[in-house]
């Protein structure tokens, strides 16, 4: 085992807990960096060393990285409707400060969790690692800038890999676009009433356990993965019409029959956006920007990860959503 002690940032988050479970099961010693030590009880129960660290408070980072063999950087300001300043402070400057702290501590291996949102919509799907980036949202723009920071630091000795998962879902995800989308269909929300456009645009998801597989392969195959970028996702993309049909079947609901053009949909969503803003929400499903998201293609090739890493996704969308919805039902969310 080339790397023995791993720092995982965003350790108490959705992906973080799954990844740490896998790393611990493989015999790695794990340090989990969190902003709120009160939310780290589950990590401690796994035998994880918990460290405080805040990407905005750069003086907290040297202690977090000291003495580890590799950093897996998952933490991010993750929302599609947030503050432009926070994207910059957390996702860009926070990544820079963490990577620099790692180098100063003698830690060269740095695996960065970006997103396919750094690529953005794809005109001629599927996109791949060489597709010219065209991020649509500030989140994706900040991820692309952070990728550039990480690549630039390779000249200082940083042995980086950039991972671009597509939209993640799975059990225990309770605050994300996939969660909101499932809930709006299950509970009769606005997007259960109509489909924006004809549902012909492509979207691609990634089950959280498949994303974990990607990260562990990258960690354990530095001979091929250093200085590389990989898309990690499901085997195929789905049209939004297919996604609605799969979800509606699993939820025992009727798929929406009404199709609305983008302009009308944006007009109707003015009112839900006002409601979401007034209550301090950041739910993309209730914002006009969802129209732009679902009327562009987000479909990507995973062939590079398959060929170079041996990545093999275990979940298609139907199986993954069935497992996820069962978890929501078993835990009182549905």
Q: Please list the pLDDT of the chain residue by residue as tens digits (334 residues).
A: 556 899 999 999 999 999 999 999 999 999 999 999 999 999 999 999 999 999 999 999 999 999 999 999 999 998 767 788 999 999 999 999 999 999 999 999 999 999 999 999 999 999 999 999 999 999 999 999 999 999 999 999 999 999 999 999 999 999 888 898 899 889 887 778 888 888 999 999 999 999 999 999 999 999 999 999 999 999 999 999 999 999 999 999 988 888 888 898 888 888 877 877 777 776 666 778 888 888 999 999 999 999 999 999 999 999 999 999 999 999 999 9
Adjacent-strand bridge partners of 164: 231
Contact of 87 with 146, CB cutoff 8 Å = no
Cis ω before 126 (30° cut-off from 0): yes
Helix axis angle, 138-152 to 94-104, nearest 10°: 20
How does DSSP classify residue 54?
Answer: B
Domains and CATH numbers, the chain: 5-166+206-233+301-315 (3.40.50.720)
Give the N- to C-terminal CA distance of the chain in Å, as an integer: 42
**Phi, psi angles (nearest 5°) of residue 228:** -120, 160
* Reported pTM: 0.94
Contact of 285 with 177, CB cutoff 8 Å = yes
């Amino acid at each position: 085992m080339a790397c023995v002690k791993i720092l995982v940032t965003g350790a108490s988050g959705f992906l973080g807990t799954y990844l740490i479970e896998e790393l611990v099961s493989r015999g790695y010693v794990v340090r989990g960096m969190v902003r709120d030590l009160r939310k780290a009880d589950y990590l401690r129960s796994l035998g994880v060393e918990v460290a405080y660290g805040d990407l905005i408070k750069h003086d907290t980072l040297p202690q977090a990285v000291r003495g580890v063999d590799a950093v897996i950087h998952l933490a991010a300001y993750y929302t599609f409707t947030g503050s432009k300043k926070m994207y910059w402070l957390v996702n860009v400057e926070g990544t820079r400060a963490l990577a620099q702290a790692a180098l100063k501590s003698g830690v060269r291996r740095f695996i960065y969790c970006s997103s396919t949102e750094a690529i953005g919509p794809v005109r001629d799907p599927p996109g791949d690692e060489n597709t010219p980036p065209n991020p649509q949202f500030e989140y994706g723009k900040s991820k692309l800038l952070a990728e550039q920071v990480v690549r630039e630091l390779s000249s200082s000795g940083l042995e980086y890999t950039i991972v671009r998962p597509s939209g993640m879902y799975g059990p225990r995800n309770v605050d994300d676009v996939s969660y909101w989308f499932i809930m709006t269909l299950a509970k009769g929300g606005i997007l259960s009433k109509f489909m924006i456009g004809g549902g012909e645009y492509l979207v691609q998801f990634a089950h959280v356990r498949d994303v974990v597989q990607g990260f562990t392969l990258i960690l354990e195959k530095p001979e091929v993965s250093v200085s590389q970028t990989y898309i990690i996702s499901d085997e195929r993309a789905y049209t939004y019409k297919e996604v609605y049909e799969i979800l509606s079947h699993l939820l025992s609901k009727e798929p929406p029959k009404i199709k609305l053009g983008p302009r009308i949909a944006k007009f109707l969503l003015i009112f839900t956006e006002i409601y979401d803003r007034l209550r301090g929400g950041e739910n993309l499903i209730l914002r006009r920007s969802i129209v732009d998201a679902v009327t562009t293609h987000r479909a990507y090739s995973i062939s590079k990860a398959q060929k170079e890493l041996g990545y093999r996704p275990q979940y298609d969308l139907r199986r993954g959503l069935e497992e996820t919805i069962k978890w929501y039902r078993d835990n009182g969310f549905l």
